[in-house]
Amino acid sequence: MLERYKRKRDFTKTEEPKPGSKVSDKDNLIFVIQEHHARNLHYDLRLEIAGVLKSWAVPKEPPTEAGIKRLAIGTEDHPMSYADFEGSIPEGEYGAGEVRIWDKGKFAPEKITDKEILFRMDGNKMKGEFVLIKTRFGKGNGWLFFKKKD
């Protein structure tokens, strides 16, 4: 599942982690949201699913309250070790720019299908029940991301 991740990166140039095998037990799954100052500032939402970090790029600040809908574009799976990554991806490399952890915490999935993910996040900024649902926007990788209720 991490082939795309490896293919896009030159690990002699970037400090991003190489794929590792650290996996949480099923009652202690995690999420992380990284603020990524690439060509366009965006937020990378990553959820621990099946031993990897399933990932989406969110072009605007994530929805901390109900009533805000964000587009989230599905991107390549990332290794679990990426959840701790903060640093600078060098100029000329994929995703060049600063990466900072914006929020991190416990992830509890309620339902996962190809079209819909219902889950809880317990972080500092993201707390409560959230939804990711496939949308026709975004060239086949588009999802809507929102908080279910306050």
Q: Which residues bind Mn ion (CB under 5 A)?
A: 36, 44
CB of residue 110 to Mn ion, shortest distance in Å: 26
CB of residue 148 to Mn ion, shortest distance in Å: 25
Residues in contact with 28: Cβ distance below 8 Å, sequence separation at least 6, in sequence order: 106
Beta strands in the chain (DSSP E): 30-37, 41-49, 52-58, 69-78, 87-89, 97-112, 116-122, 127-134, 142-147
* Closest CB to Mn ion among residues 1, 96: 96
CB of residue 9 to Mn ion, shortest distance in Å: 12
CB of residue 97 to Mn ion, shortest distance in Å: 8
* Closest CB to Mn ion among residues 56, 130: 56
Q: Do 124 and 62 form a contact (C-beta atoms < 8 A)?
A: no
Per DSSP, the residues of 28-45 read S-EEEEEEEESSSEEEEE
* Closest CB to Mn ion among residues 36, 147: 36
